Chain A
């Protein structure tokens, strides 16, 4: 089967520093892949290259075989490559429901309908509520977004990403900055998205138990390079990875590999 997303020699250089260095990877449709690697390994930069926030200095990204070199991030979202944001980035003065509704309606072109079709408008609202149900946030739909807890804001971000209804979801550390009590809820949300089986998901995460629980495959980035890519078992048993990352993580310090 043709990979839904593929990179070829994807690289970006900031000054003399190669943040992402000739990464070749591909993933099939409806696959769940996690990206791990120590801080500064280039994970978020890699995401930014996929989503079009950054332009590669070398190489290219392919979506269903089509080059994305000339596509803006907005184009990529429209094509089906949706990205969540690492920084909490919702509309603070809108209600939770309005935030999601905005994402739902963004699938449609902007039209100057001053007198909207009432039923259609209802449909958008219903869709937004259904998505809030999925992320277990429907009890907060009328709350103003700025008053949500951090964990709830992250859920709202995922809801907005789901509302865009893209085939590929790029999730950048959805549990970052969350309190321990909030993590299981997000995990459950992601697990349910996976269980529905209609999305291709690429996840950056630090929590290994969560990664091992969810992933079909794992890729490891280290110093911008793709160190390994394989099933969770393969990665856990990969000695280079153990030295470079897993060992280093658990020992609290990184072990450089040659």
Chain B
């Protein structure tokens, strides 16, 4: 039983990290119809600038704030300079965002050096609680809680605010939103910056979790993000949480019980979803 609980917590924590990455990805795709292959670059930049600030100030919290700011600034620049010229053209989007991904990744090596940087969990989040047989690692619980808070905040924004209503309507039918006279370009920028900030938070939280950061981690994690977007349904925010948790749990259990399958399990999950429900588990009806 204690083993199962550990595996569940482990899976949930990984799932939340993937969710932070996938949430932005799915909204950007759903609303703006943009496939952003550079999303992993935002993740890794969040991790590096966050850790850099964390090391400098010795405050994990300020590190997270730095990661968010980095995400928003990079998101702003990317939307304005790179994404705006290629709206509506998928091939160009793939080429330029994939190129941006490589540039962002290599720039990390230029700025912070090519070697992996070790990161430790802040003191107050280090260690674990023991409940009888079960060992609860504090930092993993922390990640789960942050993930749930982020989900709660964005769920609130999406369902209870004006801009959220525009985003949800835009995912369904952005032409109609424009026909109503709403300046959806501004909303695009907001969503892109928010998505970038979420990815950056994910990167920063990932850092102490995996113990070290390296430039290629963005690319590796972005693939999981894409799998989650496909499973959850492109454009579905709740779907991305569900799918991320599913992928996290599947990875966690497989790694323990069938290690040889642990890398393939995500692909298998995605294949099953694509065969039986190609629109994803939570896909909304398009207008």
Taking Cβ atoms with an 8 Å cutoff, the residues of A that contact B are 73-74, 77-78, 83, 85, 89-94, 98-99, 101-103, 105-110, 112-114, 116, 121, 124, 146, 160, 164
Task: Check A74 against B179 for contact (C-beta < 8 Å).
Answer: yes
Task: Check A116 against B162 for contact (C-beta < 8 Å).
Answer: yes
Cβ of A103: which chain B residues have Cβ within 8 Å of it? 180
Which of B161, B166, B179, B286 lies in contact with A77, CB distance below 8 A?
Answer: B179
Cβ of A78: which chain B residues have Cβ within 8 Å of it? 181
In the complex, A246 Cα to B166 Cα: how many Å? 44
Cβ of B238: which chain A residues have Cβ within 8 Å of it? none
A112 and B163 in contact, given A91-B176, A164-B181 (Cβ under 8 angstroms): yes
* Nearest CB on A from B72, distance (A): 12
Task: Check B162 against A124 for contact (C-beta < 8 Å).
Answer: yes
* Nearest CB on A from B224, distance (A): 27
In the complex, A124 Cα to B163 Cα: how many Å? 13
Cβ of B177: which chain A residues have Cβ within 8 Å of it? 102, 106
Taking A89-B173, A92-B285, A164-B180 as given, write out 9 further A-B residue pairs in contact, using a Cβ cutoff of 8 Å, ordered by the A residue number. Answer: A74-B179, A83-B179, A98-B165, A102-B165, A105-B166, A110-B166, A112-B163, A114-B161, A121-B162
Task: Check B181 against A93 for contact (C-beta < 8 Å).
Answer: no
Which of A94, A98, A110, A146 lies in contact with B187, CB distance below 8 A?
Answer: A110
* Nearest CB on B from A52, distance (A): 10
Residue-wise, chain B 151-162 has the 8 Å CB interface mask toward A (1 for contact) of: 000000100011
Which of B163, B172, B178, B181 lies in contact with A92, CB distance below 8 A?
Answer: B172
* Nearest CB on B from A50, distance (A): 14
Task: Check B166 against A102 for contact (C-beta < 8 Å).
Answer: yes
Task: Check B284 against A93 for contact (C-beta < 8 Å).
Answer: yes
Q: Which of B163, B169, B183 has the most CB of A within 10 A?
A: B169
Task: Check B285 against A77 for contact (C-beta < 8 Å).
Answer: no
Determine if B182 is an interface residue (Cβ-Cβ < 8 Å). yes
Cβ of A74: which chain B residues have Cβ within 8 Å of it? 178-179, 181, 183
A109 and B179 in contact, given A93-B172, A102-B169 (Cβ under 8 angstroms): no
Q: Which of B163, B166, B182 has the most CB of A within 10 A?
A: B182
Cβ of B166: which chain A residues have Cβ within 8 Å of it? 102, 105, 110
Task: Check A91 against B169 for contact (C-beta < 8 Å).
Answer: yes
Task: Check A105 against B178 for contact (C-beta < 8 Å).
Answer: no
Closest 6 CB pairs of A and B: A106-B180, A77-B181, A110-B186, A106-B182, A92-B285, A91-B169
Determine if B287 is an interface residue (Cβ-Cβ < 8 Å). yes
Interface residues of B in 122-179 (CB under 8 A from A): 157, 161-163, 165-166, 168-169, 172-173, 176-179
Residue of B at shortest CB range from A101?
B165
Determine if B190 is an interface residue (Cβ-Cβ < 8 Å). yes
* Nearest CB on B from A86, distance (A): 13
Cβ of B179: which chain A residues have Cβ within 8 Å of it? 73-74, 77, 83, 85
Cβ of A107: which chain B residues have Cβ within 8 Å of it? 181
Cβ of A92: which chain B residues have Cβ within 8 Å of it? 172, 285-287
In the complex, A89 Cα to B169 Cα: how many Å? 12
Task: Check B162 against A114 for contact (C-beta < 8 Å).
Answer: no
In the complex, A91 Cα to B176 Cα: how many Å? 8
Q: Which of A91, A93, A98 has the most CB of B within 10 A?
A: A91
Residue of A at shortest CB range from B168?
A94
Q: Which of A93, A108, A109, A121 has the most CB of B within 10 A?
A: A93
Residue of A at shortest CB range from B162?
A105
> Would you mind naming 17 contact pairs between A and B with Cβ atoms under 8 Å apart?
A73-B179, A74-B183, A77-B179, A77-B180, A77-B181, A85-B179, A89-B176, A91-B168, A91-B169, A98-B165, A105-B165, A106-B181, A110-B166, A110-B182, A113-B163, A121-B161, A124-B162
Task: Check B176 against A93 for contact (C-beta < 8 Å).
Answer: no
* Nearest CB on B from A121, distance (A): 7
In the complex, A85 Cα to B284 Cα: how many Å? 22
Task: Check A116 against B183 for contact (C-beta < 8 Å).
Answer: no
